[in-house]
Amino acid sequence: MKRTALITGATAGIGEETARLLSKNDFNLILTGRREERLKKLADEITRDSECKVHILVFDIRSREKTMEAVKSLPQEWMNIDVLLNNAGLAAGLNTIQEGVVDDWEQMIDTNIKGLLYITRLIAPKMVERNSGHIVNISSIAGKETYPMGNVYCATKHAVQSLTQGMRLDMLKHGIKVSSVSPGAVETEFSLVRFKGDKEKADKVYEGFTPLFAKDIAETILFILTRPAHVNIDDILVMPTAQAFSREFYRK
């Protein structure tokens, strides 16, 4: 029987590629994000190329009300969510603390921590009721190390690590699986967003080495989701071969 997965941030990068991969591996999908056109296009592609059913929800995860409305709007047949992939997130800017942009800090905290919590709070109780479910949180190497000027972004991902442990402890007796995936540099729209559309700056991040691609992380997520019932993958750190720790790159 197919499982239902809700993916936050399915309009680009890791979320989009994971949607494609899960659609071919016995999942029906609830795809979310702010960019409706992209969600519709992806839903059309997936339903054309697979047996997967897709439902889209358009909302800004920073809004508690909009997130609640979106989840409450789900038709009955979509209410039993087996997998929650907490992927929506971003880095905004790269500045020292003393020159930090407070609006950027708020955007990262509101998306990467509070947004993740809002949606988890809405979906986890139903998993607990059924004594079944799997939450996968996308953390980062930035959740394990702090790098210069990464301050607030790294703090949000450290929070994701901590929340993953908290979720696992609190839902242990209900048989809920909780995992995190912590990638190094993945070439997605991440750097374009971080540098606010400056493509030259964004491209420089991946210059001279082969980064990870969204598909690499999608495959890791699929691995996590397809372990036997008695196996929980707590955390996987995935790095490009040419990257050691958060800021050591071997560039040719």
Annotated active-site positions, please? 153
Between 115 and 150, name the residue whose CB sits nearer to ligand 8X3. 150
Between 5 and 14, name the residue whose CB sits nearer to ligand NDP. 14
β pairing state of 83-86 and 54-58:
unpaired
Q: Which does 161 bind (CB under 5 to 8 A by kind): ligand NDP, ligand 8X3, none?
A: none
Residue of 22, 57, 119, 186 interacting with ligand NDP (CB under 6 A): 186
Q: Which does 12 bind (CB under 5 to 8 A by kind): ligand NDP, ligand 8X3, none?
A: ligand NDP
Residue type (1 letter), 219: E
Total length of the chain: 252
Residue of 5, 6, 12, 176 interacting with ligand NDP (CB under 6 A): 12
Q: Does 90 bind ligand NDP (CB under 6 A)?
A: yes
Q: Does 150 bind ligand NDP (CB under 6 A)?
A: no
Q: Which residue is nearest to ligand 8X3 (CB)?
A: 140
| Contacts by 34-43, CB closer than 8 A, 24 or more apart | 34/58, 34/59, 34/60, 35/11, 38/11, 38/12, 39/10, 39/11, 42/10, 42/11, 42/16
Residues that bind ligand 8X3 (CB under 6 A): 140-142, 150, 185, 246
What spatial distance separates the first Cα and last Cα of the chain, rounded to whole Å? 47
